[in-house]
């Protein structure tokens, strides 16, 4: 991900779509490529894919952005994939105590195993956490925060866990995995970013 900071309200942009595939109407598509912790259950199970798989990944990304932790990441690739297919995750109070219920609801409605019950793109954009419909919802969102110190600690822990002994390329189960070097570079860039300094009295957190 990239952060465009040269505007009043910074934009977060997703990048690196080297494995992206355009879904054609009426054409069944299956694939088992991807970074394990982000893939949807239907990818793990080698089932036909659609835009629903992208919505699952958005749920995982949102979870990580709000906590620094990863919802399904296990000690091994196999454990990670098992957690995904079982939809085994929780909102650890240590990292989500100041996260609004609206934000958690947004994630819950994306991390749904049945694709037909998962939020669509249009539904996600209309979700009250994304587009508050009244002043009360807007206030709840403004008062919800992320502790950046916790976020950075979890980020480093997570990236170390992902990168142990793994290299770019196809793993035993067919998934592409990040290299240890790339993980270290990402971690260094993240921790050295001036926009992510430790919490202080003047700016202890960011809105979620």
CA distance 179 to 168: 5
Does residue 64 lie in a domain region?
yes
Q: For residue 131, is it within any domain?
A: yes
Residue 26 domain-assigned (yes or no) = no
Task: Quote the domain boundaries for residue 171.
Answer: 2-20+31-207
Residue 25 lies in a domain: no
* Number of domain units in the chain: 1
Q: What is the pTM of this model?
A: 0.72
User: In tens digits, what is the pLDDT along the chain, a chain of 208 residues?
Assistant: 787 778 887 787 877 777 778 888 888 989 888 888 999 999 999 999 999 999 999 999 999 888 888 899 888 889 999 999 999 999 998 888 888 899 999 999 999 999 999 999 999 999 999 887 788 877 777 767 776 777 777 777 767 766 653 333 344 344 443 333 333 333 333 334 443 333 333 333 333 4
- 3-state helix, strand, coil split of the chain in percent (to 5) is 45, 5, 50
Instruction: Please report the pLDDT score of residue 200 as a whole number.
Output: 37
For residue 142, what pLDDT is reported?
73
Residue 113: which residues within 8 A CB-CB, separation 6 or more?
41, 85, 87
* Token couple for 6: 């040269």
Residue 63 within a domain = yes
Residue 140 falls inside a structural domain: yes
**202 neighbors 145 (Cβ within 8 angstroms):** no
CA distances from 205 to 59, 106, 135 (A): 21, 20, 22
Domain with residue 112: its CATH number is 1.10.510.10
């Amino acid at each position: 991900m990239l952060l465009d900071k040269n505007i009043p309200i910074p934009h977060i942009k997703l990048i690196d779509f080297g494995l992206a595939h355009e879904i054609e109407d009426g054409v069944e598509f299956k694939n088992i490529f991807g970074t394990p912790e982000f893939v949807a259950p239907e990818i793990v199970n080698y089932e036909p894919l659609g835009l629903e798989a992208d919505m699952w990944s958005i749920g995982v990304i949102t979870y990580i952005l709000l906590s620094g932790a990863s919802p399904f990441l296990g000690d091994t690739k196999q454990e990670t994939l098992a957690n995904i297919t079982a939809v085994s995750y929780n909102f650890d109070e240590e990292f989500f105590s100041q996260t609004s219920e609206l934000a958690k609801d947004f994630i819950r409605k994306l991390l749904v195993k049945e694709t037909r019950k998962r939020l669509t793109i249009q539904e996600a954009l209309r979700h009250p956490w994304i587009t508050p419909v009244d002043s009360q919802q807007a206030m709840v969102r403004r008062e919800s925060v992320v502790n950046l110190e916790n976020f950075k600690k979890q980020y480093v822990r997570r990236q170390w866990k992902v990168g142990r002994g793994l290299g770019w390329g196809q793993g035993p189960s067919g998934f592409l995995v990040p290299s240890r070097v790339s993980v270290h570079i990402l971690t260094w860039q993240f921790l050295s970013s001036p926009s992510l300094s430790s919490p202080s009295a003047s700016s202890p957190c960011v809105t979620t």
